[in-house]
Amino acid sequence: MSPLDPLPPGIVTPLVTFITEGGEPDADAMTRHVNYQIESGIHGLLAVGSTGELGSFTSDQRVRAIEIVVDAAAGRVPVWAGVAGLGTSETVEAARRAESAGADALLVLQPLFLAASDAELERHFTQVAAASSAPVIVYDVPARSPRKVPATVMASLGEQGVIRGFKDSSGDLTAGRLSAAATAHIDGFRSYIGSEITMDAAFVLGFQGIVPGFANVLPRHAVALFEAAQRGDRDAELAAQQAFIDLFEMLSVPLPDAGGFTAAVNAIKVATAEVLGLPTPLIGEPLVQPTAQFSRAIADIVAPLHASTPGEE
């Protein structure tokens, strides 16, 4: 684990996971991407989160992806690892393996197979935290888990020192703000929002960081937005945000037979490959692969934004 602050304020990019034709993590492509991100000034990296197709890989493949990101980052920025399981035992095992792979912090989901009560959620995160020395961040993403993690649970776990932060991906700014407010009094506690077109609202709402999938594509713009927010330059902040509003158009590009999540991850992955100069990337099975028409449409949206200077959109 690196000596850096494992929960930095600022931008933590939830990396896409490039894969080979055999479906294994592609070390060359992923290393190239990690270097691009760090050179662009981002503050942290997340391996195998939702954007990184956590659900598409075996346990061994997830560990390998984490190892690749940790090796490529080489202590320059902290690396988080997505951790999940059908129940607590499987989540504990995943947490231990992620820490052994070098993760600096663990972004942990609730049990995925059951709708746990508040008390059961607390027991779950407490047991995961006890199994690892890496700090635990609650990943609150009700679209992909049985329920929303209540602000009261966040506050209780934070006050006990079980968790060090949370990432709100509910898409509900009211709920996110209440969670941030409920934990604001906890020394060293960090709240993050998974945000794309409301990034500029994050710091007003009380968050310390953002974990935006679009930072895979435009990391310089994300960093410019954070820096503008820190110095109180609202005009520059809005200008940087506009690039992400414009990039949001790629989520409307049709991909026949694909579900919404598949199309979104494909869009981010294809766009990232475009800025890195990589071939059209594959996505994990059984998700629908990007078509040539889809990839061309994404490239047309991304090219002018990638070429622009942050703050001058």
User: What is the token pair recorded at 206?
Assistant: 């009380």
State the CB neighbour count (10 A cutoff) for residue 257: 9
Q: Which of 139, 148, 192, 269 is catalytic?
A: 139
Instruction: Take residue 9 and report the two structure tokens written for it.
Output: 């304020």
Closest CA to 250 of 287, 296, 291, 212: 296
Grouping H, G, I as helix, E, B as strand and the rest as coil, residue 19 is strand
Q: Which of 176, 233, 245, 175 is nearest to 208 (CA)?
A: 176
In SS3 terms, 29-95 reads as HHHHHHHHHHHCCCCEEEECCCCCCHHHCCHHHHHHHHHHHHHHHCCCCCEEEEECCCCHHHHHHHH
For the question of residue 269 being annotated catalytic, the response is no
Which listed residue (36, 148, 167, 269) is catalytic?
Answer: 167
CA torsion angle 254 257 262 263 (round to 10):
0
Q: Is 167 a catalytic residue?
A: yes
Residues tagged active-site: 139, 167
